[in-house]
Amino acid sequence: MTESLEKCVKMKDVEAKVFKEMLRFFYTGQVDNFMEIGTRLYEMADRYLADSLKDYCVRGLIRGVNKDNAIELYCFARAKEIEDLTKKTTEALIEYVLAY
């Protein structure tokens, strides 16, 4: 009701730059600085039931797995129950351990 009077919608717990990238994705199918905000963007997509954005995020996170972020992304993937990302990060961690 307040939104229609004020012509403004207030969204709590939303970072402006992550919201901006969600809108960019909806209009262009692209996201800038994805690895910087990928996990937060996935969480926002999950909250707002944006399945195509969630899929985009999972693919991007899988492509971005490296030795510096594998543990963090593994924990994220397990917490969010993202099987493909869990598998990729597990494989990467095993590879990094064996190479050490």
Question: Buried b / exposed e across 51-66, counting CB within 10 Å, b at 16+?
Answer: eebbebbbeebbeebe
Q: Same structural domain for residues 50 and 91?
A: no
| CA angle centred on 35, ends 9 and 88, rounded to 5° | 120
pLDDT at residue 73, rounded to an integer: 98
pLDDT in tens, 47-98: 999 999 999 999 999 999 999 999 999 999 999 999 999 999 999 999 999 9
**pLDDT value at residue 11:** 77
6, pLDDT greater than 80: no
* Spatial separation of the C-alpha atoms in residues 83 and 95, rounded to whole Å: 18
| pLDDT tens sequence across 16-52 | 999 999 999 999 999 999 999 999 999 999 999 999 9
Q: Is the same domain home to 11 and 39?
A: yes
pLDDT for 8: 78
pLDDT of residue 22: 96
Residue 1: per-residue pLDDT: 57
CB atoms within 10 A of CB 70: 19
By C-alpha distance, which of 53, 85, 46 is closest to 69?
A: 85
| 6 and 24 part of one domain | yes
pLDDT value, residue 2: 66
Residue 57's CATH number: 3.30.710.10
Structure tokens belonging to residue 40:
């937060």
